[in-house]
Chains A and B, each alone.
Chain A
Amino acid sequence: MKREPLSFKQTVYLLILFIIGSTIILPVGTEAKQDIWAAVLLAIVMTLPVVLVYARILSLYPERNLLEINEQILGKVVGRFINFLFAFYAFTLCALVLDNFGQFINVTAIPETPLAIPMLILCLLALWATKEGLEVIARSGEVYLPIIVFVATFTFLFLTPNLNINRLQPSLYQNSGGIVSAALHLFSFPFAETVIFTIIIYCTNKTKAMAKVYLAGLLIGGGIILLSVTSVMAVIGPERYQASYFPAYLAVQTINVGDFLQRVEVVVFLIAIFAGFIKISLCFFAACKGLSNALGCKEYRFLTVPLGLLEFLFASNLFNSTKQMAQWASEVYLYFAFPFQVALPMVIWILGEVKRRGRQGSPEVDLHDELR
């Protein structure tokens, strides 16, 4: 089957939506307290070299995604095993995001309905989108991002009367440990999660400069996160930020324009579902792709239904309460994600560079032969 490459714009849109994803609803970087903006900046700076490594890996082997590159570099057996691990990571990440959104919808809007219902629907939607293919996800992203930007702009405008700059002070005052720890958490969630994209996209003529794609996505997405968490912090202050499971929701709750436009938080966070859906489908897509590669199948689409069921079961039995979810995110996720986000890509990159040096003699001919 002919693969249709995504355009530069689509890829950047997807990256932005992926980074916004569930970050916008969850309490991120709580340790940094009022210095959260510094933590976000630090996290972005920390992520820059890592995403450049991702981009480099993809640029080394044009027209191939990480899965195929792994097979190429590490050999069939080891490569497929590594791919299986990546598929597992994508699967877990998908379940986590699914769980985040399930909890969010359940807690904020419909406490009477069982938690699993919104999760099931989201899972089915992601399943359908994955079955339709990456192009559909990408074009949905093109539809959603303008809507998100539009609504976010208005929300921000309406929030401005409630911003209290005093809540961000004292800034950078004896809190360096907190900032670094928060930045580490922000690094692993959401910024370095973009490692999933190495499974999804590949270097083509259209997206020649992989580094450009990654940098644009990271900087714009990071900018949006910076703006949102800082304003949320300025509206509700560090104490309530830390105490709440969904701080942004609390912040938007304070909007009150002329006693008429109030309690609009549900509408605002409906829009966050768009970003969440994109993140879930991308992770699910990556999981299907990874698993099909690990099992040596050409096509991934037949995996969507059984994997979707497992995904749903995994997500719905992952945590019993929102508290567990928050705890897990703050205590375990960093260590769980580290190998996939940093260690494995570094190893693959170094091996790839070494291999590339080795075949420097006639690289072009080699590549073309393999493509045929």
Chain B
Amino acid sequence: MTKVTPTGLRRNICTNRLTAAADKKSPQVGRNFNCALGSNIKVIQKILQNDGLVIYRKIRLDTNPFRACYVIYVDGMVNSDLLNENILRHLLIFNFGDRRQAPKMSFSDVLMNRVLSTGNVQTEKVIDSAIQSLLYGNVLVLVDGIPFAFVIDAKGWEIRSISEPETERVVRGPREGFIENLITNLTMIRRKMINPALKMVFRDIGTRTRTKICIIYIEGIARPEIIQEVYRRLDKVQLDGILEPEYIIEFIRDAPLSPYETIGTTERPDTAVGKLLEGRIVIMVDGSPFAITLPYLFLEYFQANKDYYDSFLYSSANRLLRYISFFLTTSTPAIYVALVNFHQEMIPTRLLISIASAKEGVPFPAAIEAFIMLMAFQLLREAGVRLPSPVGQAVSIVGALILGEAAVTAKIISAPMVIVVALTGISGFLVPEMPGVSFFLSLFFLFSSSFIGFFGYIFAVIAVTIHMTSLRSFGLPYLSNLTSIHGKELKDTVVRAPWWWMTYRPRLLSRDKRRLADPGRPEP
């Protein structure tokens, strides 16, 4: 772990110097290597001056006459075993003078074909690009008399081990999650999808950090228009630093000001592959364990990956529960306030009496009460998330039990209101991806229903519907697949049908709609 920090730091920052140099339009920019090793090294050293992590190893090759050779790499970013065994060792012991070992080969061919025994070796003529790959963890080998550099892929730095993601735990299902290394993440996806149709397109993004991102899709399932649209929007990202997917998301998402997410993230390879198989596109950003999935529809708030790993009846029940809890978390305070303030006739008399007696002596109107309690709940939640877990638990106990109890006894808050807000909060945890949305919605509904009761509530619902129906995610209507009552689409929306029954992929998303070759109930 100790090695990670400087390495990570330099991977993010080191390229700055390069671009800073580039900005000044220094004469070295865009220059090619020439045959004189000394001048090449001077140019590189000039560009990388004040960079202590770069190591220059000079070797005198066993040729006649002697030729000088430089092996350049960044300390901590290369696999030292590979470097020592397959590069340095061979360069040191190879007998270049022996013509039998390399008959009729040019010197560079000898190096390429007889000496450098690593998998990925390329040649690079342009100095800037060579330095770019050096800083990405490759080894440069420069030899006197050869007007290009050998770029050897010997990357190897300390990475976090693969573990189960904290944010998306499942009871049944794979326990691996993405890590901060892009290549490792891609291999996790590739291992689940052994098919040449899985395409991975690399891009550099961020004018200074030059972060590597990878756009992943399955050819034949993903719609080409959407892929084109993704490229078009990614081209517009001209931010200088990309450290996390959110930096990109906020550039490429539709409706940037809406509280609704129109682009999803996931930390799990199995979820990512599942989305790919539905015809979605996944973007991975180097340095972050979160993958972007798009297009993202409203429906996906309610689809959890564990739905697909549990029995379909249980998953369908869970999914229904999630819809109900979304309704509860957004509407309970509003409905309570509307009932108590405007439509008392709807409450059964006994309940009304007990509510009235509980409210006796409470100084605030119901709407203010609800607002205070919702705010208090959000405060506690945020405090619990930020603190380490033992302290967080203490905070929630103090908050929930002591504060709530004391507030009711002191007649600041009425007891039914505590129940209402607790219900709101608890049901909010069932759809964990949308804390922001449900909180805003509950406040908005509360506000409007405190003015004209249920009708205010319904006006607010209409307003929210107008907003949501006007949203799109990469050309797809945000509410699509949810609003229609089609047998075909109901199978993975309100309920989760058994796998042998889900013959088709979600409509609009994919080009090849059929996912099950031979539908039918299994008959053992």
A→B interface (CB under 8 Å): 9, 105, 109-110, 113, 117-118, 121-122, 125, 128-129, 132-133, 135-136, 139-140, 142-144, 146, 259-260, 262-264, 266-267, 270, 273-274, 277
**Contact (Cβ within 8 A) B462 A273:** yes
Q: How far is the CB of B490 from chain A (nearest CB, A)?
A: 11
A264 and B346 in contact (CB under 8 A), knowing A121-B459, A273-B455? yes
Q: When the two chains form the complex, which single residue of B343, B465, B469, B485 contacts A266, counting CB atoms closer than 8 Å?
A: B343
Q: What are the interface flags for B458-490 relative to A under an 8 Å C-beta threshold, 1 for contact and 0 otherwise?
A: 110011011001100000010100011100000
Task: Determine if A109 and B454 form an interchain contact, defined as CB atoms under 8 angstroms apart.
Answer: yes
Q: Given A117-B452, A267-B454, A273-B455: A109 and B343 within 8 A (CB)?
A: yes
Please name all residues of chain A whose beta carbon is closer than 8 Å to the beta carbon of B524 when the two chains form the complex: none
Docked-complex contact A129 and B466, CB < 8 angstroms: yes
Report A367 CB to chain B, min CB distance, Å: 29
Q: Which residues from B are CB-within-8-Å of A113? A: 451-452
CB neighbours (8 Å) of B479 from chain A are 139, 142-143
B485 in complex: contacting residue of A146, A267, A270, CB < 8 Å: A146
CB distance from A124 to the nearest CB of B (A): 9
Q: CA separation between A144 and B458, bound complex, in Å? A: 12
Tell me, yes or no, whether B439 is within 8 Å of chain A by CB.
Answer: no
Residues of chain B contacted by A270 (CB below 8 angstroms)? 454-455, 457-458
B444 within 8 A of A: no
Q: Is the CB–CB distance between A136 and B466 below 8 Å?
A: yes
Q: Are B453 and A110 in contact (CB under 8 A)?
A: yes
Contact A277 B455 (CB under 8 A): no
Give the number of chain B interface residues (Cβ < 8 Å): 25
| A136-B463 CB under 8 A given contacts A109-B342, A110-B453, A263-B346 | no
B466:A128 contact, CB within 8 angstroms: yes
Residues of A within 8 A of B346 (CB): 262-264, 266-267
Q: Told that A140-B469, A262-B346 touch, could you supply 15 new A-B pairs with CB distance under 8 A?
A: A9-B484, A105-B455, A109-B342, A113-B452, A118-B455, A122-B459, A128-B466, A136-B470, A143-B465, A260-B348, A263-B346, A270-B455, A270-B457, A273-B462, A274-B462
Let me know if B345 is at the binding interface, CB within 8 A: yes
Chain B residue with Cβ nearest A117: B452
Establish whether residues A128 and B463, one from each chain, have CB atoms under 8 Å apart when the complex forms. Answer: yes
How far apart are B143's CB and chain A's nearest CB, in angstroms? 60
* The residue from B342, B345, B456 contacting A263, defined by CB atoms under 8 A apart: B345
C-alpha spacing A121/B462, complex, angstroms: 11
Q: List 22 A-B contacts (CB under 8 A).
A: A9-B484, A105-B455, A109-B342, A110-B455, A113-B451, A113-B452, A117-B452, A122-B459, A125-B459, A125-B462, A125-B463, A132-B466, A139-B469, A140-B469, A142-B479, A143-B465, A143-B469, A259-B348, A262-B346, A264-B346, A270-B455, A274-B458
Cα(A142)–Cα(B479), bound, Å? 10
Closest to A118 in B: B455
- Contact residue among A122, A139, A266, A267 (Cβ-Cβ distance under 8 Å from B483): A139
Which of chain B's residues have a CB closer than 8 A to the CB of A109?
A: 342-343, 452-455
Across the interface, name the chain B residue whose C-beta is closest to A9: B484
Chain A minimum-CB-distance residue to B463: A125
- Contact between B483 and A110, CB atoms less than 8 A apart: no
Closest A residue to B465 by beta carbon equals: A140
Measured between beta carbons, the chain A residues less than 8 angstroms from B462 are: 125, 140, 273-274, 277
Contacts of A259 in B (CB 8 A): 348
Q: Which residues of B contact A262 (CB under 8 A)?
A: 346, 348
